[in-house]
A and B are shown apart, each in its own frame.
Chain A
Amino acid sequence: MNYINEMKIQFLNKSVNEGLARVAVASFCAQLDLTVETIADIKTAVSEAVTNAIVHGYENMSGFVTVCCVYNLNEIEITVSDYGRGIEDITEARRPLFTSSPDEERSGMGFTVMETFMDYLEVKSSVGMGTTVIMRKKVQV
């Protein structure tokens, strides 16, 4: 991709930073002339990926979450990475309503929400190394 602009932020896995990530990405996307609806879609997807990194990636450990955001003339790409425990079975994890922590009232809808609100979702993970979620959305710039 030939990027027009690019942003990268990193923050500690504290739940209070979920809001920070949404605001940062929304502000970055505000450089483009997007509809309120599109920005809301992106914010929701980012919130899901960042929450997963914080809740599942690190659990009780401490670590950094990285959010990268780039765009070119027709697409926004957002990458959320953690360096935590990783996902053993990605197919199972992506299934609607699947959650490994029902007692914490996770709904198991995170990946489904990301898939619904974005045009492309790719999950890369390796146990003990961490997880990277790549999401893309078509935009008209």
Chain B
Amino acid sequence: MRIDVMGDAMIIRPKGELDHHYASEIREKADRIILKGEIRKVIFDFTNVLFMDSSGIGVIMGRYRLMEAIKGSVCAFGANQRIKDLIKMSGLSRLITIYPNQQKALEVK
């Protein structure tokens, strides 16, 4: 997994199968950076996520709560239809926007 920081934006790029086992690693690595206090925008790049279950929803929700507390935001891009369906099913789509690509995700304030 790669995490890129660009100014006050952080892009989390999970790779492979986003299940409960992998979720704890993502959470740990992401929060280590978020808790330093400089990030205002968390972006999930789902381009290389081949599988996701509800543990992925938990990871997004968790980061959303964290960012909400510091008036920041969370969004995503690169999600396939299955991931989009899961996000919709959980009601998360009311809280985070899924953009078609990285550029769009970075653009929006």
- B contact residues, total (Cβ < 8 Å): 21
What mask results when residues 3 to 36 of chain B are scored 1 for a CB within 8 Å of chain A, else 0? Answer: 0000000000000010111011001000000000
CA distance A44 to B108 in the complex (A): 32
Asked if A51 contacts B55 (CB within 8 A), the reply is yes
Please tell me which stretch of A81-89, A106-114, A133-141 contacts chain B, meaning at least 4 of its Cβ atoms lie within 8 angstroms of it: A106-114
Does any Cβ of B come within 8 Å of A34's Cβ?
Answer: no
Asked if B23 contacts A105 (CB within 8 A), the reply is yes
Select the residue from B24, B54, B57, B86 with max chain A CB neighbours within 10 A. Answer: B54
Kindly report which residue of chain B lies nearest to residue A47, judged by CB atoms: B53
Report B99 CB to chain A, min CB distance, Å. Answer: 22
What mask results when residues 40 to 68 of chain B are scored 1 for a CB within 8 Å of chain A, else 0? Answer: 00000000000101110111011000000
Asked if B58 contacts A106 (CB within 8 A), the reply is yes
* Set of chain A residues within 8 Å of B19, measured between Cβ atoms: 15, 18-19, 22, 47, 51
CA distance A105 to B19 in the complex (A): 12
* Set of chain A residues within 8 Å of B27, measured between Cβ atoms: 105
CA distance A97 to B86 in the complex (A): 13
* Set of chain B residues within 8 Å of A116, measured between Cβ atoms: 89
CA distance A110 to B59 in the complex (A): 14
Does any Cβ of B come within 8 Å of A48's Cβ?
Answer: yes
* Set of chain B residues within 8 Å of A104, measured between Cβ atoms: 58
Asked if A44 contacts B53 (CB within 8 A), the reply is yes
Contact of B57 (CB < 8 Å), options: A22, A51, A107: A107
Asked if B54 contacts A19 (CB within 8 A), the reply is no
Taking Cβ atoms with an 8 Å cutoff, the residues of B that contact A are: 17, 19-21, 23-24, 27, 51, 53-55, 57-59, 61-62, 82, 86, 89-91
Given A43-B51, A55-B20, A97-B90, 5 further pairs, Cβ under 8 A: A54-B20, A105-B23, A107-B54, A110-B53, A113-B54
